[in-house]
Homo-oligomer: A and B are copies of this chain.
Amino acid sequence: MVRVTAPRAWAVLAAGLGLAAAAQAADPLPSWRDGAPRRALVEFVAATTTPTDLRFVRPAERIAVFDNDGTLWAEQPLYFQLAFALDRVKALAPMHPEWKTQEPFASLLRGNLKAALAGGEHAIVEIVMATHAGMTADDFAAVAKSWLATARHPQTKRRYVDMVYQPMLELLGYLRANGYKTFIVSGGGVDFLRVFAEEAYGIPPEQVVGSGIEVKYAVQDSRPVIERLPQIDFIDDKAGKPVGIHRFIGRRPVLAFGNSDGDFEMLEWTTAGPGTRLGLILHHDDAAREWAYDRESAVGRLVRGLDEAEEHGWVIVSMKDDWIRVFADPARTRR
């Protein structure tokens, strides 16, 4: 005799009534293949939102943090914000005749990206300051918004905002539907992120933590403005991520999701807390649908995360095996 439990009886009944399709459509994570990461996420959410479960987390403590580049959207062949900065150098070049002979701008304008970036961090800072400072916050937001609306990725020919990951959008929505507040904690520029995070991810500006330059309040011709200054205020990367979390959020998250060693300390800080915690790392192992890179990559390098995930109990998410679909449908942002 087959013993039919109440839930199972309900399922049989539902199937008989043709409700199976409806039940399936209600799956909050349709792009996540059944496997260890999906199961870990579903179990974590169920446990932390069930008041009778010892692992219950009260709503105010349900803070989930996500890296952006390589976690919520792609990051190859170079960070999208760097692509923005390079385009801005070209657009601003007519106003800067001195750039014709001044590195890293000279190489960049000749189309030699490798030579331009040979100066390492110093060269990148020069490029960022020349393109991200010296204007008001409103003007910067308008320039970034306009670029994001039109610029396209050199390989996929998609707009950058259409290179966000569908499974991550589903996860953000799933967490929010369960009382989680979702935050971005990114090494990228906070004011660049805030231009698109709300529309792309449903994450409002006040839930974006990122790197930033100094700003100053001023009244210009009786009009108050925020001026952007060519001086770094804060780098939200590596050990800077727990600092950014402390400074901007002020509470230790219970879930952290990253993809590179820049996220190591964020995962470490999150999962070392008391009670139930979940750390996840997206492994880019899908050369067919996206890119495959980890230990040797200049962008999104992942070494410690792979080596120490097991010891910390972090879940490695394989893009190839765990994701049914990679990118979100571009039509979703066409209105």
Report how far A265 CA is from B233 CA in the complex, Å: 21
Those of A232-273 within 8 Å (CB) of chain B: 233, 239-243, 246-251, 265, 268-269, 272
Residues on B with C-beta less than 8 A from A265 are 217, 224
Contact B190 A224 (CB under 8 A): no
Q: With CB as the reference atom, state the residue of chain B lying closest to A265.
A: B217
Among the 9-residue stretches A17-25, A31-39, A66-74, A201-209, the one with 4 or more Cβ atoms under 8 Å from chain B is A201-209
Closest B residue by C-beta to A202: B60
Known contacts A206-B207, A268-B224: A250-B217 contact under CB 8 Å: no
How far is A233 from B223 in the complex, measured between Cα atoms in Å? 27
- CA of A226 to CA of B269, assembled, Å: 9
Are B205 and A137 in touch, CB under 8 angstroms? Answer: no
A188 vs B324: C-alpha distance in the bound complex, in angstroms? 49
A242 to B216, CA, bound (A): 8
Q: Nearest chain B CB to A159's CB is how many angstroms away?
A: 22
Asked if A248 and B251 make an inter-chain contact with CB atoms under 8 angstroms apart, the answer reads no
Q: Mark A209-237, 1 if CB is under 8 A from B, else 0.
A: 00010011111000110100000010000
Q: Is B272 in contact with A243, judged by CB distance below 8 angstroms?
A: no
Residue A27 at the chain B interface, CB threshold 8 Å: no
Contact pick for A217, options B190, B239, B248, CB 8 Å:
B239
> Which of under 10, 10 to 19, 20 to 34, or 35 or more describes the interface residues of A?
35 or more
CB contact under 8 A between A249 and B216, given known A269-B224, A272-B223, A272-B224: no
Interface contact A206-B248, CB-CB below 8 Å: yes
Does A181 touch B at the CB level, under 8 Å?
Answer: yes
Residue on B nearest A183 in the bound complex, by CB: B206
Tell me if A204 and B251 are in contact (CB < 8 A). yes
**Please, how many angstroms separate the alpha-carbon atoms of A224 and B194 in the complex?**
29
Residue of B nearest to A270 (CB): B224
Cα distance A268–B191 when bound, in Å? 22
Instruction: With both chains docked as a complex, state the minimum distance between the C-beta of A216 and any C-beta of chain B, in angstroms.
Output: 7
In contact, A246 and B137 (Cβ under 8 angstroms): yes
> B242 near A205 (CB under 8 angstroms)?
no
Q: Is A198 an interface residue (CB 8 A)?
A: yes
Given A224-B268, A265-B217, A272-B224, A191–B243 Cβ distance below 8 Å?
no
Q: Is the CB of A205 within 8 A of B251?
A: yes
Chain B's nearest CB lies how many Å from the CB of A93? 29
Enumerate chain B residues within 8 angstroms of A224, measured Cβ to Cβ.
242, 265, 268-269, 272
A63 at interface (Cβ–Cβ under 8 A)? yes
Whether B190 contacts A250 by the Cβ 8 Å rule is yes
Asked whether, in the complex, the Cβ of A206 is within 8 Å of the Cβ of B250, the reply is yes
Q: Which of B206, B216, B240, B268 contacts A243 (CB 8 A)?
A: B216
Closest to A271 in B: B224
In whole angstroms, how far apart are the Cα atoms of A60 and B181 in the complex? 14
- 17 A-B interface contacts by CB (under 8 A): A194-B250, A205-B250, A206-B207, A206-B248, A206-B250, A208-B250, A215-B246, A217-B239, A217-B240, A217-B269, A223-B272, A224-B268, A224-B269, A224-B272, A226-B242, A233-B247, A248-B248
3 smallest CB-CB distances across A and B, nearest first, come from: A205-B250, A217-B242, A217-B239
